[in-house]
Structure 1
Amino acid sequence: MNLHVENKQLCVGDVRIVGVASASVFLIGDTEVISLSSMFDTPPESVIIAPFVPLPAEG
């Protein structure tokens, strides 16, 4: 995969995250390289894949 990025001004006001996956990345700002890898050493029948887990509401 080739990704072309043009760096321009970035202004972030508010961020609201309502759920987090089992493997996730949230990034604001600059980075040179992002390397992702995944490995399972668990038998497939013991893996439980569930929907997003909601974060507690702020009060």
Structure 2
Amino acid sequence: MELNVVNREINVGNIRVIGIASSSLFLIGDAETIQQAATFDTPAESLIIGPFTPFVPD
């Protein structure tokens, strides 16, 4: 297999984004490094980490 890459100038005139997903990346051109980050809108005390869900009987 032979792969030849020629980097040349790119010109983007107009972009229309209709919608995005919860995990999205929109990239035009090259990227040497892409870093991931995450934030929570939820207060820390309401975040449950673990395999169990609290059960409250009636």
Q: TM-score, normalised by structure 1?
A: 0.42
Bigger strand fraction:
1
